[in-house]
Amino acid sequence: MKLEKCIALLFCMCSNAFAAQSQSPIPEVESLLEQMTVEEKIGQLNLLTPGGGIATGSVVSENVEAKIKAGEVGGIFGVTGPDKVRKAQEIAVNSSRLKIPLLIGSDVIHGYKTTFPIPLGSASSWDMDLLKQSAQIAARESTADGINWNFSPMVDIARDPRWGRIAEGAGEDPYLGSAVATAMVEGYQGTDLTAPHTMLATVKHLILYGASEGGRDYNSVDMGKIKMFNQYLPPYKAAVDAGVGSAMTSFNDIDGIPASANKWMITDLLRERWGFDGLVVSDYTSVNEMIAHGLGDLQAVSAMALESGLDMDMVGEGFLTTLKKSLDEGKVTEAQITTACRRILEAKYRLGLLEDPFRYSNEARPEKDILTDENRKLARKLAAHSFVLLKRHQNILPLKKNVKIALVGPLADSRNNMLGTWAPTGEHRLAVTVLEGFKNVAPEASITYAKGANITNDTVMAKNVNVFGPKVEIDKRSPETLLNEALAAAKAADVVVAVVGEASEMSGEAASRTEISIPDAQKRLIRALAKTNKPLVLVLMSGRPLTIEEEYELPVSILQVWHPGVEAGNAIADVVFGDYNPSGKLTATWPRNVGQIPVYHSMKNTGRPAAPVESTQDAEAFQKFKSNYLDAPNSPLLPFGHGLSYTEFEYSDLRVDKSEIGADETVTVSVTLKNIGSYDGAEVVQLYLRDVVRSITPPKRQLKGFQKVFLKKGESKKVNLTLSPDDLKFYNSDLEFTVEPGEFQVFVGTDSNAALKTSFSLK
């Protein structure tokens, strides 16, 4: 189904309740506003951090307690624990004139103390129910520790794996990204924001942050509106339709205007076109950073931000220190200040804070709700479901539990790299290493561990990666000594498992890379292990798609595990030893090399297209005067949606229930799926649609449906997927969401290269 309609059907109660609250005045809020001075209203627009956690900039707020007492703070982040939160709220409600409680925010990106896989990994499960459960657990744990406002989910579409923050989103596709956004918002917020185990979610980063030039963080974005509306905006809108309570502006500019002062984005698009009436907060000091963008001094950019519709200034204090002066000089109005203040107070009202400021300060909750056995059990399950079997060689996997294993690689016993990027609330000491997981799941196996190589031998890279702690540790032993130790272990083993890839902070914020292959130190190890002729499994960790063309050509099996979270080692062992059959699918295309970027499944044809992959056996042979490369095929190494299993699935009998429909009719697409292999397993059935002729150039294919189906070996099932009228629509040259008559081709299969095809037409 089209996500815009699907979301409305599934979550209209939550969304409509939120909208209803927004459309009518809230007496408690209006009463406060009548009592507030202009200075107190401006104070509510100020979001500070006392420090102590991971910051995303160099600024840490000063004199926070004094500012709270003076009514100059609307919210804080970086403070956790019900006792500390209670103290902060006591300062606000006992020592400030109007006793207005604080919003308590945090970056809970992929779990709180129970850390789940990085979002790119979790999305690779294609299991929206599991994702929703993970958000529910994150909300329960966060609120137990006093937090009521989460700066998540990040829903930016990313098609450049050089960009480190691709790790924090759902990948390249707007349909799947919209489903993930909806699941996460619903998981965090539930149906009652006043419930003590739910929290305010924040959709971020508005907008287009994932399309930064050169894959370089915080960089400029240049994009036309048609591409924007059709390919990049849907997940943001899905979050709004799901009732998300707040939104965060991005660091980049849009059409030359930075997001935190972009009136078209905040007011015209977000508020007026999409109907959002929640709180809009800037990202970390992004208001101040507009000075470097070249838009004026702090007073000027702060006034621009307020006028654009921004409500809250994160850390920079530009609103706090300049808005009164701008008001006195007629550069902003009191009505603008009041409107922004009202939205912040409304958020506090919806969270129940105006009724009970200490709603999230129950000191009995942390022990009961945080890092429980049940929470860790779900983390282990979601991690196993997120792993993608990229390549299966000679049925090496799954391993028997009684074999001699050489477990090698710099990530095989590296506790500090299991949680992944942007896990500031997680505790690395609690993470399960791969070595520990193997021993837990297969105690009868004989396991010899050898590091084999450093993550990288590059000391400059190591220094850049280790800003927040030792993620890359360069061994005092020589690379030759490490390698020889691994080769000796391999020689004595029945099978070799090499755990290789990126350190956790080689992706994430401010972690862009121009070279996204496995580091050379580990490449050397892999080559040497392959030459031993022992069965070899690569367990690959990363926060992004990597260029692994060399490794893919070796006689190896490859299991992509991302950075799996607190239960990393146990989940990896579950899959390697066959207790769970991998079912993950890639949510971002894996390029052959950096020169192919961007490469994604919904690209358009040119007027001189190269022969399609499915047309002939040598379809990718070079063709002069066609849109292709001299030195590489157009096709990626691994397509969007790719993911193997220990079993085999067969697709057949693709049908549509109608060959011709009207504009308000649905189409049911059915296909028979059969498990023809030797293991029970799950398959993600994927439906792609092509609008053959329309007024603006269509993508070759677009994902428009998916269903995860579990089948026992030998079992078959008829799978139905429904296309709604909205699934056929697109934004035209006038940015109207419309549909045009004509033929539509339907492709169903195991990835975006699905070969089964049928069609129908729209009258």
Which tokens sit at 413?
A: 């016993």
CA dist., res. 71 & res. 39, Å (int): 8
Which tokens sit at 68?
A: 């709270």
CA dist., res. 312 & res. 343, Å (int): 9
What Å distances lie between residue 537 and 408, 450, 545, 549, CA to CA? Answer: 10, 15, 18, 16
- Judge contact between 727 and 704, C-beta under 8 A: yes
- Pick the closest to residue 701 from 742, 638, 752 (CA basis): 752
Q: How many helices (H) and strands (E) does the chain have?
A: 23, 26
Please report, in angstroms and rounded to a whole number, the separation of the first and last CA atoms in the chain.
Answer: 20
- Pick the closest to residue 278 from 319, 234, 310 (CA basis): 310
CA angle 424, 426, 432 (to 5 degrees): 135
CA dihedral for 591, 596, 597, 600, sign (positive or negative): negative
User: Parallel, antiparallel, or unpaired for β 730-731 and 737-738?
Assistant: antiparallel
Catalytic hit among 156, 283, 313, 369: 283
CA dist., res. 206 & res. 234, Å (int): 12
Name every residue whose Cβ is closer than 8 Å to that of residue 528 and which is 6 or more positions away in sequence: 483, 486, 487
Range 447-463 burial, b when 16+ CB lie within 10 A, else e: bbbbbbbbbbbbeebbe
What element of type H or E holds 616? none
Name every residue whose Cβ is closer than 8 Å to that of residue 460 and which is 6 or more positions away in sequence: none
- Pick the closest to residue 562 from 541, 548, 546 (CA basis): 541
- Judge contact between 181 and 239, C-beta under 8 A: yes
- Judge contact between 546 and 518, C-beta under 8 A: yes
3-state helix, strand, coil in the chain (%, to 5): 35, 20, 45
Active-site annotation holds for 145: no
The strand pairing partners of 446, in sequence order, are: 404
CA dihedral for 282, 284, 286, 287, sign (positive or negative): positive
Name every residue whose Cβ is closer than 8 Å to that of residue 448 and which is 6 or more positions away in sequence: 404, 405, 406, 407, 489, 492, 493
- Under DSSP, the state recorded for 112 is S
What element of type H or E holds 730? strand 730-731
Q: What are phi and psi of 292, to 5 degrees?
A: -65, -30
CA dist., res. 15 & res. 11, Å (int): 6
Give the active site residues.
283
